[in-house]
């Protein structure tokens, strides 16, 4: 593709969304509901990918409620987190209490991302104007008369060309759309990477997700019902050094983070059981060009601090749906309308990233370089143990975020 040879298949839609992640599927659902002809192109054959973000926050659950889909969502297997606790050294401190949030669901729901995407897809497929093509990997943008006019993709059946009035790049942190559109990225940096792994659960394990901070390490355990999803935070670029020290040394470090799992760390019998997430925090300067808009991770890769990447992606999709569905029903969306999406979402993104970078540098970075004797919880965290109401502040920031979006009345009424 991209060599000028004719495509084996050509399609047309009002809007072509590249990427069937949380941002792309939610926007696809919203636009389809509004009566806009929309096609989502996803490069994978299914949504099944391990160690993706699985935290559905109260503000996303509120959106699901506003769409009238909460009852169905809650019938699907999930776990609930009402209170987040952190172990700082040997001290356990509750840090975020979601039970007071002004939302319908006062908890974080843990649902495998593929189940959440299946849920969105099932509802989107009820609309005849919604189309999803799996195994369609976008490789090129089609540009005509100074604007983006569609995309070219590889599929198992050959090349595919989709012509559209609007192309939305929702293709994640390594976005092809962003790169092909030449959108400039601002990199905010991160002092850490994350190693993901799973360890089995056994009777008698504490039934709660928690983060453990101890000199040199941060270890997070997420209760997934029958297993623990674990994140082991390491200094940026440090995975090779971890490997060099050997699997036995790594298992010992993991056991220090979760002493009750000491007997189980042998389940990590191979480095293949450990997946590296290279942490990046960045955002594009301009989210749009004529005929093109980026949302979700494609517009801003978030730090894993707070586990809010999915939430931000969904919030972008809701803002884009609210602002663009009406214009797109009538014709192409103008660049001013695309800029309105950036204006709406850029500020919450900047504030959230600033807070994440602060926590990365002031707390996580210090823990990673801490010596045993200098180690203690920072004052604001210690105060949370004494004054429980302070736990509502992080709960609000994590659970609802900055400027939570609500589905417009128009889109709520459309069914
Ligand atoms: C290991 C890991 C753990 C995480 N944990 C959490 C967490 O606990 N909580 C949380 O909120 N966030 C977490 N995140 C971040 C979260 O997954 C993302 O922020 C969120 O998924 C972003 O959604 P998105 O739709 O913008 O992009 P993505 O979810 O990345 O979706 C992009 C989609 O586009 C597709 N795609 C890519 N390129 C193309 C192409 N050229 N053509 C067609 N399709 C394409 C991809 O296959 C993918 O399905 C985690 C991320 C990682 C990597």
Q: What is the pLDDT of residue 54?
A: 84
Q: CA 397: distance to chain centroid?
A: 16
At which residue do the structure tokens 């495998």 appear?
Answer: 112
Distance 108 CA to ligand 1 centre (A): 18
Asked if residue 309 has its Cβ within 6 Å of ligand 1, the reply is yes
Q: What is the pLDDT of residue 383?
A: 86
Out of 1, 16, 19, mutate this one to test ligand 1's pocket (max ligand atoms within 8 Å of CB): namely 19
Does pTM top 0.85 for this prediction? Answer: yes
Ligand 1: which atom is nearest the Cα of residue 194?
A: 1
Ligand 1, atom 21, lies closest to the CA of 310
Structure token pair of residue 186? 């601002």
Distance 160 CA to ligand 1 centre (A): 23
Confidence of residue 414 (pLDDT cuts 50, 70, 90): confident
Q: What is the pLDDT of residue 280?
A: 92
Q: What is the pLDDT of residue 3?
A: 56
Distance 113 CA to ligand 1 centre (A): 9
More confident: 11 or 365? 11
Q: What is the pLDDT of residue 1?
A: 43
- pLDDT at residue 415 above 80? no
What mean pLDDT is reported for the chain? Answer: 92
- pLDDT at residue 36 above 60? yes
Distance 125 CA to ligand 1 centre (A): 21
Confidence of residue 98 (pLDDT cuts 50, 70, 90): very high
Distance 128 CA to ligand 1 centre (A): 26
Pairing assessment for the beta strands 55-56 and 185-187 based on DSSP bridges: unpaired
- Mean pLDDT within 201-205: 90
Q: CA 360: distance to chain centroid?
A: 18
CB half-sphere exposure, 394, CA atoms < 13 A: 22
Asked if residue 306 has its Cβ within 6 Å of ligand 1, the reply is no
Spatial distance between the Cα atoms of 192 and 234, rounded to a whole number of angstroms = 6
Structure token pair of residue 202? 């056994």
Distance 356 CA to ligand 1 centre (A): 18
For 224, the 3-state DSSP assignment is coil
Contact 306, 351 (CB under 8 A): no
More confident: 206 or 409? 409
- Mean pLDDT within 388-407: 93
Q: Quickly list H helices, 98-160.
A: 113-124
Ligand 1, atom 20, lies closest to the CA of 310
Contact 15, 32 (CB under 8 A): no
Sign of the dihedral through C-alpha 329, 333, 336, 341: positive
Ligand 1, atom 45, lies closest to the CA of 19
Q: Nearest 5 degrees, angle CA 281-CA 305-CA 295?
A: 50
Asked if residue 276 has its Cβ within 6 Å of ligand 1, the reply is no
Ligand 1: which atom is nearest the Cα of residue 296?
A: 26
Asked if residue 86 has its Cβ within 6 Å of ligand 1, the reply is no
Q: What is the pLDDT of residue 51?
A: 57
For 260, the 3-state DSSP assignment is helix
Of the listed ranges 5-19, 80-94, 285-299, the least confidently predicted one is 80-94
Q: What is the pLDDT of residue 180?
A: 98
Q: What pLDDT, in 10s, does the model give residues 224-261?
A: 888 898 999 998 999 999 999 999 999 999 998 888 88
What percent of the chain shows pLDDT beyond 70? 97
Spatial distance between the Cα atoms of 261 and 255, rounded to a whole number of angstroms = 6
Q: What is the pLDDT of residue 313?
A: 97
149 burial via Cβ count (<10 Å: 0-12, 13-18, 19+): buried
Spatial distance between the Cα atoms of 253 and 234, rounded to a whole number of angstroms = 11
- Mean pLDDT within 213-224: 86
Contact 199, 264 (CB under 8 A): yes
Q: What pLDDT, in 10s, does the model give residues 161-198?
A: 999 999 999 999 999 999 999 999 999 988 899 999 99
Distance 21 CA to ligand 1 centre (A): 6
Structure token pair of residue 195? 């190693």
- Mean pLDDT within 368-387: 77
- Report which of 296, 372, 293, 307 is spatially closest to residue 337, judged by C-alpha positions: 293
Asked if residue 141 has its Cβ within 6 Å of ligand 1, the reply is no
Distance 296 CA to ligand 1 centre (A): 8
Q: What is the pLDDT of residue 43?
A: 96
Q: What is the pLDDT of residue 4?
A: 58
Other CB atoms within 10 Å distance of the CB of residue 144: 10
Please state the φ and ψ torsions of residue 292, each to the nearest 5 degrees: -145, 140
Distance 52 CA to ligand 1 centre (A): 7
Distance 313 CA to ligand 1 centre (A): 9
* Greatest C-alpha distance within the chain: 69
More confident: 23 or 91? 23
Asked if residue 348 has its Cβ within 6 Å of ligand 1, the reply is no
Q: What pLDDT, in 10s, does the model give residues 276-286?
A: 989 999 999 99
More confident: 85 or 336? 336
Q: What is the pLDDT of residue 374?
A: 62
Of the listed ranges 46-55, 133-142, 145-154, the least confidently predicted one is 46-55
Ligand 1: which atom is nearest the Cα of residue 24?
A: 25
């Amino acid at each position: 593709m991209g060599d000028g040879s004719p495509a084996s298949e050509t399609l047309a839609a009002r809007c072509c969304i590249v990427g069937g992640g949380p941002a792309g599927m939610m926007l696809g659902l919203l636009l389809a509901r509004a009566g806009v002809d929309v096609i989502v192109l996803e490069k994978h054959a299914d949504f099944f990918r391990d160690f993706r973000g699985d935290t559905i926050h109260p503000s996303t659950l509120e959106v699901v409620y506003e769409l009238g889909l909460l009852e169905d969502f809650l019938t699907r297997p999930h776990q609930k987190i009402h209170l987040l606790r952190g172990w700082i050294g040997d001290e356990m401190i509750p840090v975020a209490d979601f039970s007071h949030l002004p939302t319908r669901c006062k908890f974080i729901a843990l649902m495998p991302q593929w189940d959440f995407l299946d849920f969105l897809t099932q509802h989107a497929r009820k609309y005849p104007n919604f189309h999803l093509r799996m195994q369609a990997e976008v490789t090129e943008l089609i540009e005509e008369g100074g604007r983006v006019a569609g995309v070219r993709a590889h599929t198992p059946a050959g090349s595919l060309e989709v012509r559209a009035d609007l192309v939305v790049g929702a293709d994640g942190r390594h976005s092809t759309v962003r790169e092909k559109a030449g959108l400039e990225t601002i990199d905010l940096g991160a002092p850490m990477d994350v190693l993901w792994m799973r360890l089995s659960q056994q009777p008698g394990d504490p039934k709660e997700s928690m983060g453990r901070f101890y000199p040199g390490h941060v270890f997070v355990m997420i209760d997934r019902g029958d297993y623990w999803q674990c994140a082991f935070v390491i200094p940026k670029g440090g995975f090779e050094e971890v490997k060099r020290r050997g699997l036995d040394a790594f298992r010992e470090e993991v056991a220090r983070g979760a002493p009750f799992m000491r007997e189980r760390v042998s389940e990590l019998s191979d480095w293949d059981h450990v997946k590296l997430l290279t942490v990046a925090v960045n955002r594009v300067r301009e989210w749009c060009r004529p005929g093109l808009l980026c949302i979700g991770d494609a517009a801003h890769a978030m730090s894993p601090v707070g586990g809010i990447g999915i939430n931000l992606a969904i919030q972008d999709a809701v803002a884009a749906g609210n602002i663009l569905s009406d214009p797109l029903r009538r014709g192409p969306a103008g660049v001013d309308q695309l800029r309105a999406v950036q204006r709406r979402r850029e500020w919450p993104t900047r504030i959230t990233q600033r807070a994440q970078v602060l926590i990365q540098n002031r707390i996580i970075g210090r823990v990673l370089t801490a010596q045993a004797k200098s180690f203690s919880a920072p004052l604001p965290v210690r105060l949370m143990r004494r004054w429980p109401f302070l736990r509502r502040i992080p709960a609000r920031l994590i659970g609802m975020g900055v400027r939570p979006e609500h589905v417009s009345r128009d889109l709520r009424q459309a069914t």
